[in-house]
Chains A and B, each alone.
Chain A
Amino acid sequence: MLKVRGLEVFYGPIRAVRGVDLDIEAGEIIALIGANGAGKTTTVRAIAGLATYKGSISYDGTTLTPNSAEFNLRAGLAMVPEGRGILGRMTVEDNLSMGTYCRKDRAQAAKDVVEMYERFPILSARRHSLANLLSGGEQQMLAIARALLSRPRLLLLDEPSLGLAPKTTTAVFELISSLRRDGLTVLLVEQKARQTLKIADRAYLLETGRVVMSGQAQNLANDSLMSQAFLGGATTP
């Protein structure tokens, strides 16, 4: 579904991503894990179309044009950015309306918003309050609900657990694995590697802008090098 080949992204003279290859098949949950500064966020931003890059990214067999997020969204590629990216000065309702901004089927889109309120009752209860005033977990629900309203087929999630309480994190992870049942493909960027590998099918481990390890999530979780470096060494006493 998504093929990334030789991806290189620069911040001025600094090469933040140095030749990343990724493959995502339809229906998978793929994890992209690694430490701070490994290039995870830069990689998904490039895929979403928020950055210029070298190398190629193809989606459903079509090569994407760099830095064209508006276009990619309409092709079915949505992203929830790091820090949730809610529009805090707008109401919950306006945020969800923005989720349907790209759609032409206004009537169906309006129905989908109603459905989204049923799926996330907390958003329905707070629909007229400013999104800034929501709790971190509620904001994450809002950000995911808003992304779903664009009817994506591939959803990129950048650190959805960032700044959330453990209990809320668990709820967000449950929500993400439920998305697969709706036929969605997910690329999940996370630092919380252990929890991420539990719900992912496959994973890529990034270090200083390169993929240093990839494979079945289960195998990565059991890998000793991996556990020492990124899982806090919990499996090696």
Chain B
Amino acid sequence: MLLQQLVNGLTLGAVYTLVALSFSLVMGILSVLNIAIGELFMLGGYLGFAVIARELPLPLAMAVAMIGACAVSVVIQKIAYEPLRDAPLITPMLSTLGFSIILQNIVTNVWGSDPLQLPSEMFDADFMVGPVRIGVMQIVVIGVTVALVGAVAYLVQRTPAGRALRAIAENRDVARLLGVSVSKTTFLAFAISGLLAGAAGVLISLHYAAITPYIGVDIGLKAIAVMVIGGATRVWGALLAGPLIGIAEVLTIAYGGSQIRDLVVYGLMILILLLRPQGLLGGARSDVGQRV
């Protein structure tokens, strides 16, 4: 039934939102697509899994995944981005692609290429709200997403560091004239981006109760689609586009069959871009931030 599917779609959409936010934090500020974010997300899933498999509490799993992904994200910034700051935009993008392949290989070597299953008794409790069945896991996924998005929103909108991020994204020269350090701000963007990707990785492995080393490519591409649909230059576009794509995907599986779900998701992306090239919330072309 429809209402049930909407709840399921929101859960999946929540994860897309987090990963898309992770992409757009770096994209909005540096105009660089950090392709390795998909693998940071996958790595976060594995780190969280490793903690949960030892029957340690979920908050610890979240913390380990977030810190781990954040640390790798910062390494990516130092090695794959910072030395290529003055190179054409495609160059750092390719170096992050290289990083994503390396990460995938490392994880495959450590945990193997077969999917890992979550202990089935975990979070399988559920309850009925009217006619809708809501799993504890779904509450966890949506709740954690809302909390993280709220925290990022507070940081970006209300703190001096967040204002500095927005200033750099809008106009690098002006931000520098106001005393903002480009390298510190870039570091911050990569760090937050890693934290979000790591958290999202744990959430998706809860959602599917399984994880593979290839999930980063699948979800990563969808998150890029979500970011583009929301408007790549506007961080908050993901909040609208994430649930939208999640619901579209779940409804497609429920009523059309899972074999056409990617067709619908990417078809929707192409359709929206044809009608609104700047994305749903994107502004005019002129407010694309300068490159750092």
Chain A interface residues (CB < 8 Å from chain B): 48-50, 69-70, 73-74, 78-79, 81, 85-90, 94, 97-99, 101-102, 146, 150
Contact = CB atoms under 8 A, between A and B. Distances in A.
B181 to A, nearest CB: 5
B202 to A, nearest CB: 33
Contacts of A97: 160, 163
Nearest to B162: A94
Interface of B: 160, 163-164, 166-167, 170-171, 173-182, 283, 287
A101 B160 contact: yes
Contacts of B166: 87, 89-90, 94
B180 A81 contact: no
29 contacts: A48-B177, A49-B176, A50-B176, A69-B176, A70-B176, A70-B181, A70-B182, A73-B178, A73-B179, A74-B179, A81-B177, A85-B173, A87-B167, A87-B171, A89-B166, A89-B287, A90-B166, A90-B167, A90-B170, A94-B166, A97-B163, A98-B175, A98-B178, A101-B164, A101-B178, A101-B179, A101-B180, A102-B178, A102-B179
A45 to B, nearest CB: 8
A79 B163 contact: no
Nearest to B181: A70
Most buried by A among B166, B167, B174, B283: B174
Contacts of A85: 171, 173-174, 177
A76 to B, nearest CB: 11
B170 A50 contact: no
Most buried by A among B171, B177, B181: B177
A203 B171 CA distance: 30
A69 B177 CA distance: 6
A98 B160 CA distance: 7
B177 A89 contact: no
Nearest to A77: B177
Contacts of A74: 179
A73 B170 contact: no
Contact of A150 (B163, B170, B178, B181): B178
Most buried by A among B171, B182, B287: B171
B292 to A, nearest CB: 13
Given A89-B287, A98-B163, A70 B170 contact: no
